[in-house]
Amino acid sequence: MASFNDSGNENWHDYQVGSRREIISLLRSIGEKNQLIRAVISGDADAAVTSVLDVDADAEEVILDCSINADQNRRMLAARKINFETSLDKIRILFNTSSLRETTYRGMPAFAMPLPESMIRLQRREYYRMPTPVTNPVRALIQVETENGPEAHSFPLADISCGGIAILDNKMLLDNTVGKNYANCRIDLPEIGTVVTTLQIRNSIDMTLLNNKPNRRLGCEFVNLQRGMLALVQRYITKLERERNARLAGLS
């Protein structure tokens, strides 16, 4: 399946669905719920709207509705690649094709494409940022360049998601240039394990705390996070959610 790099910077493989049975089930559910699908020709700013009319498992094909715009239909048929995006039960679904042909469905013009080899399923949890404890905070150990060479410094986390973390740098030790990478960072997740990853600075906010002391909040993205490390992050977020829900229910 073609890369989804032109749809964003996420690590798509972490959310890839490769099971033929699951792909067929997803596409049929999209069709049964009449979910609109945004279709974008690669490299083209124009988008069309389509929908799944049928999934023919025996023929390994998906039947899609045509656009009402004839010129748009011609450009889609001539395209080398088309990216599709929709949602199903508040989950973002992505797939693409490099082969689209004309056909008919119940006597009306339609498109046919091969059954995707894989799809991308992005749940809210992938983006949801969970606040980390203020007392006894989780910390990230990051190598900071100094005149005497690299030195490891500890930074408390403000929140965590499957895409990255926010840290507090009250001594302004880190280079906050967007795109700056810090390799071999260690994040010790209590009762879960240690995540080792490269962190990339994505945003920086200077703040003044209630005691008038300056502080800096840095949004950091995980770079090429290994699946095993991602699993640790997911487990820790689940742990935090469980603890929060217990507090709200008055159980702890």
pTM: 0.52
Task: Assign 9 a pLDDT band (cuts: 50, 70, 90).
Answer: very low
Structural domain range at position 169 = 130-248
Distance CA 12, CA 15 (A): 6
Q: Supply the pLDDT for residue 4.
A: 46
Q: Is residue 207 part of a domain?
A: yes
What is the mean pLDDT of the segment spanning 145-156? 90
Stretch among 30-44, 122-136, 143-157 having the lowest mean pLDDT:
122-136
Query: Over the stretch 166-201, which tens digit does the pLDDT of each residue have?
Result: 999 999 999 999 899 999 999 999 999 999 999 999
Using the predicted structure, report yes or no on whether residue 58 has a pLDDT greater than 90. yes
Please indicate, yes or no, whether residues 88 and 186 belong to a single structural domain of this protein. Answer: no
Sheet of strand 108-114: strand arrangement: 52-56, 61-65, 108-114, 101-105
What is the tens place of the pLDDT at every residue in 206-239? 877 666 778 899 999 999 899 899 999 989 998 9
> Is there a domain that residue 4 lies in?
no
Residue that terminates a domain, selected from 122, 155, 173: 122
| 98 and 138 inside one domain | no
Residue 2 maps to a domain: no
- pLDDT at residue 10 tops 60: no
Report pLDDT for 53: 97
DSSP string, the chain: ----GGG-SS-GGGGEE--HHHHHHHHHHHHHTT--EEEEETT-S-EEEE-EEEEETTTTEEEEEPPS-HHHHHHHHH-S-EEEEEEETTEEEEEEES--EEEEETTEEEEEEEPPS-EEEE-GGGT--EEPPSSS--EEEEEEEETTEEEEEEEEEEEE-SSEEEEE-TT--S---TT-EEEEEEEEETTTEEEEEEEEEEEEEEEE-TTS-EEEEEEEEEES--HHHHHHHHHHHHHHHHHHHHHHTT--
- pLDDT at 62 exceeding the cut of 50: yes
In whole numbers, what is the pLDDT of the chain averaged over residues? 86
User: How many structural domains compose the chain?
Assistant: 2
Confidence of residue 8 (pLDDT cuts 50, 70, 90): very low
Percent of the chain with pLDDT over 90: 56
95, 122, 149: which is the final residue of a domain? 122
Q: What is the CATH number of the domain that holds 63?
A: 2.30.110.10
Token match 């007392």: residue? 135
Among 67, 99, 122, identify where a domain stops: 122
Q: Is the pLDDT of residue 56 over 60?
A: yes
pLDDT-derived band at 162, boundaries 50, 70, 90: confident
The confidence score (pLDDT) of residue 251 equals 56
Asked if 150 contacts 175 with a C-beta cutoff of 8 angstroms, the reply is no
Domain CATH number, residue 236: 2.40.10.220
Confidence band, pLDDT 50/70/90 cuts, at residue 13: low
Query: Where residue 3 falls among pLDDT bands split at 50, 70, 90?
Result: very low
The mean per-residue pLDDT over the stretch 33-45 comes to: 81
The predicted-structure confidence for 43-55, as pLDDT tens digits, reads as follows 665 678 899 999 9
Q: What per-residue confidence (pLDDT) applies to 16?
A: 81
